[in-house]
Amino acid sequence: MKRDYEARIRQLRSEMTLEEKIGQLQQCGPSLVGAFDVSFDELLNMMFDGRISQEEFNRLMGTAEQDFHEEDLRAGKIGSYNGVGDAATVNRLQKIAVEETRLGIPLLFGYDVIHGFRTVMPIPLAESCAWDPALWERTGRIAAEEATAAGVHMTFAPMVDVAKDARWGRVSEGAGEDVLLNGAYGAAKVRGFQGDDLSKANAMAACLKHFAAYGAGEAGRDYNRVDMSMQRLWEEYMPSYQACVEAGARAVMPAFNDINGVPCTVNSWLLRDVLREKWGFDGLVISDSNAIAECVSHGIAEDKKDAARQAILAGMDMDMSSNSYIECLKELVESGEVPECVLDGAVEDVLRIKFELGLFDNPYQTDEERESGAMLRGEYRAIAREAAAKSIVLLKNDNNVLPLRPDAKIGLFGTLAADGGQMTGAWAIGARPEDCVSIVDACKARGVSYRYCAGEGCENRVDEHAGRSVRTDSMVQETAEASDILVAVIGEQKEESGEAASRASITVSAEQLTLVDRLLETGKPVVVVLINGRPLAIPELAERAAAIVEAWHPGVEAGNAILDVLYGDVNPSGKLTVTFPAATGQCPMYYAHINTGRPGGKSKFTSKYLDAPVEPLYPFGYGLSYTTYVYRNGKTEKREEGIHVSVEVTNTGNRDGEEIVQCYVQDVSARRIRPVRQLKGFEKVSLKAGETREVEFTVPYAGLCYYDWDMKEIPCEGVLKVYAGGDSRAELTGEVVL
Ligand code: NOJ
């Protein structure tokens, strides 16, 4: 429900002084004071370099005081805060804004609620593997219920950056490599976060990010340059952002990167021509953190003032953390370099979202009672468990080693099996380690027969079930010998994916491989449970482990959800939304590639590597189940509303299950070469053992359009191949001539 606030916005803006206007465009975060003699950035570096432990970092942070710049707030120099996530502080600061500033304009509180607030859900990449928009929306709603209870008005999510390069750490924060899937994921999140009426106290504005093509940084390195054809940008990247704008996202965060030489932060083509003119967006545009000032490092602005000028002229409304606007805009407006009407436009965008959020009528949307009652409710945990189980992808299961027999004696290995705090993955600021269920916790709660040993390369840890503490090496041996089946929980720590966590080698560590080798030497079946935030190149494990369960960073209910799948209470149904390369050197690797004139094959002069296969380890869309599915009778025909595709899918095993049916197309003779396959539809169907269902898709003709050499959008003509099945290698269902 959208209300019309335009007259009130203009009236209020007309009453504002130049300083008050600029103040509305300033977002700041609390600064930390005291407790340590180095800057916060240096302290962070010290932790990342290993000079201090995370515990020491946390201890120092705990003793530090936060400075909310209250004098600036009173003087009307702050319009918004980032990173304040508790009701008492939010209300205290809001009271200053409402009661002590001249115009009483309420503050807007933004926060990174990426995959849950307190009830941490699986990381977005994991959740995307459920291919389930209704689930994405439900978990988004829970995030909003909790975050708004803590006083948050806007989340910096969803991230819908298509990510085709597994080296990029932020692959964990989005829905993987496909643009259609990212769009569906983002739109569902927008609906979940915002609800049906933004003015309700439990609705949180969605700030889609990072506009645009942040996931396409060269070599998978974070913040790196993006250089690509306009055709590719519009076909493979822009539609996911557009889907979120169409779903009603009320804010947009431009990306750190440049596009073809112009940083998104100061890119008026992107922010004005595309976002506002072409897509009709009338919400808030807020910079990424410090991004305006960083235009100087990009080498596009002479100094901060020049950066501020370029940003506001390009359509950037609010400055996150760089102080460029607060320091430079007054002079820029007074000198005429920035027309006041441009500033007014930005101010109106800020006021609009505050009106839409109902902040002028009810600036105090929460209190401590609401806050405490909203967190980690039983029903939220239940959904977190369901979401985590649905996100799990079964990559391998030789001889049906899984599900585990209820009476099997389990040997559990790896520090990640016992470390609940690691299960949240990147970007879980509201998380508390004590809220998280580790696999060991879940084993205890279930009362299963298990022994736990952290394992090779890890400190000597022992669980009380093992009875006594002995040296790690012999413990691995001893634990393995006493068990029927060995479960190695390995992968990535939560800091190994997410922002500023690109990796040049996406393997598991040598220690972890050694641990698995030790276990394999016993001759007992080894199940690998992967905990990670990105695809991993694991050919050794793929070859030798009996089963591989990709659990990602599953959130607060990690252990319970993983055991639900391991013991077969839940039949795994997740499918990969990113390709798993066999070697890091294959990156970027993605299913929707082009063929080249010499597709990789056996003969020498084809497009391939000498030392790595052409094929991925596990393809996009892939995932096993404890049952099996067979596809038959694929049909394709042209109809008025689009191409109609149908296929019969039968559950041929003896367990009920859910199968994610996927539909792909290939335009074989277009005016520009097209990807070998493009996802055009998906549906998750429940099938009882033995049941057959017909699944239908309609691919609208408009969805097949592409751009010609001159950037004219043109329809698909000629032969189109259509595929439907259980992954991106699905069988041909037919061809149509358009
Ligand atoms: C930097 C990140 O790129 C962005 O995703 C995040 O929302 C902001 N910092 C705010 O924390």
pLDDT at 228: 97
pLDDT at 107 over 80: yes
What pLDDT sits at residue 38?
Answer: 74
Q: What are phi and psi of 713, to 5 degrees?
A: -75, 125
Region 596-600: mean pLDDT is 96
pLDDT band at residue 83 using 50, 70 and 90 as cut-offs: very high
Report CA(426)–ligand 1 centroid distance (Å): 12
Cα 124 to Cα 188: distance, rounded to the nearest angstrom:
12
Q: What is the CATH number of domain 382-586?
A: 3.40.50.1700
Q: What is the pLDDT of residue 623?
A: 98
Q: What's residue 304's pLDDT?
A: 98
What's the 230 CA to ligand 1 centre distance in angstroms?
A: 26
Evaluate: CB of 132 within 6 angstroms of ligand 1.
Answer: no
Determine if ligand 1 sits within 6 Å of the CB of residue 69: no
Query: What residue owns the CA closest to ligand 1's atom 7?
Result: 156
State the architecture of 629-737 in CATH terms. Sandwich (2.60)
User: Tell me, what's the pLDDT at 43?
Assistant: 77
288 carries an active-site annotation: yes
Tokens standing for residue 442: 């879940």
pLDDT band at 405 (very low <50, low <70, confident <90, very high): very high
481-502 tens-digit pLDDT: 999 999 999 999 999 999 999 9
Give the residue among 237, 260, 288, 230 at the shortest CA–CA distance from 112: 288
Give the Å distance between the CA of 156 and the centre of ligand 1: 7
Decide the pairing of beta strands 547-550 and 526-531. Answer: parallel
| Whether residue 109 has its Cβ less than 6 Å from ligand 1 | no
Residue 467: the pLDDT is: 40
Q: How far is the CA of 288 from the centre of ligand 1 (A)?
A: 6
Q: Is the CB–ligand 1 distance for residue 540 below 6 Å?
A: no
152 CA from centroid of ligand 1 (Å): 15
* Top mutation candidate among 113, 257, 499 for ligand 1, by most atoms within 8 Å of CB: 499
Q: What is the pLDDT of residue 462?
A: 41
Residue nearest to atom 9 of ligand 1 (CA): 289
Concatenated DSSP letters for 282-339?
-SEEBPPTTTTTTHHHHTS-SSHHHHHHHHHHHT--BEESS-HHHHHHHHHHHTTSS-
Q: pLDDT-based confidence at 459, cuts 50/70/90? A: very low
Comparing 403 with 457, the larger pLDDT belongs to: 403
Alpha-carbon separation of residue 690 from 288, 399, 652, 666, 693 (angstroms): 51, 21, 5, 32, 10
What's the gap in Å between 235 CA and the centre of ligand 1? 25
**Would you tell me the crossing angle of helices 558-566 and 378-391 to the nearest 10 degrees?**
50
Count of C-beta atoms within a 10 Å radius of residue 701: 14
pLDDT at 470: 37
Please tell me if the CB atom of residue 81 comes closer than 6 angstroms to any atom of ligand 1.
no
User: What confidence score (pLDDT) does residue 1 get?
Assistant: 57
Closest CA to 435 of 427, 423, 425: 423
- Please say whether the dihedral angle defined by the alpha carbons of residues 420, 425, 428 and 429, taken in this order, is positive or negative: positive
Ligand 1 test: best mutation among 159, 224, 288, most atoms within 8 Å of CB? 288
Per-residue pLDDT tens digits for 122-138:
999 999 999 999 999 99
Only one residue has tokens 């002084």, namely 17
Query: How high is the pLDDT of residue 2?
Result: 65
State the chain's mean pLDDT as an integer.
95
402 backbone φψ class: left, alpha, beta (φ>0; ψ -120 to 50): beta
Q: How much is the pTM?
A: 0.96
Span 278-283, mean pLDDT? 98
Taking the CA of residue 207 as reference, the ligand 1 atom at the shortest distance is: 7
Q: Is the CB of residue 289 below 6 angstroms from any atom belonging to ligand 1?
A: yes
**pLDDT, position 51:** 86
Is the model's pLDDT at 74 over the cut of 80?
yes
Residues 509, 532: Cα–Cα separation, whole Å: 12
- pLDDT tens, residue by residue, 678-736: 999 999 999 999 999 999 999 999 999 999 999 999 999 999 999 999 999 999 999 99
Quote the pLDDT of residue 50.
78
Is 629-737 the same fold as 382-586?
A: no
Strand (E) or helix (H) holding 241: helix 238-246
Span 318-335, mean pLDDT?
A: 97
Of the residues 112, 173, 214, 256, which should be mutated to test ligand 1's pocket, given the most ligand atoms within 8 Å of the CB? Answer: 112
pLDDT band at 460 (very low <50, low <70, confident <90, very high): very low
Residue 209 in contact with ligand 1 by CB distance below 6 A: yes
For residue 214, give the ligand 1 atom closest to its CA. 3
Q: How many percent of the chain have pLDDT more than 70?
A: 97
Q: Domain limits of the chain?
A: 36-66, 382-586, 629-737
- Identify the weakest region by mean pLDDT among 33-37, 113-117, 289-293, 631-635: 33-37
User: Atom 1 (ligand 1): residue with closest C-alpha?
Assistant: 289
DSSP label at 730?
P
3-class DSSP state for residue 128?
A: helix
Task: Say how many Å lie between the CA of residue 339 and the centre of ligand 1.
Answer: 29
| Residue 52: per-residue pLDDT | 84
Ligand 1 centre distance from Cα of residue 714 (Å): 36
**Measured on CA atoms in the order 7, 8, 10, 11, is the torsion positive or negative?**
positive
Interacting residues of 50 by C-beta distance below 8 A, sequence separation 6+: none
Given the CA of residue 156, which atom of ligand 1 is nearest to it?
A: 7
Q: Which of 112, 288, 317, 564 is catalytic?
A: 288
366 pLDDT exceeds 50? yes
Nearest CA to ligand 1 atom 3: 288
Best residue for ligand 1 mutational test, from 253, 427, 429, 497 (most atoms within 8 Å of Cβ): 253
Mean pLDDT of the region 654-674 = 97
Ligand 1 near 288 CB (within 6 A): yes
661 Cα distance to chain centroid: 23
**What pLDDT, on a 0 to 100 scale, did the predictor assign at position 35?**
61
279 CA distance to ligand 1 centroid (A)? 24
CA contacts within 13 A on the Cβ side of 605: 1
pLDDT at 455 > cutoff 90 = no
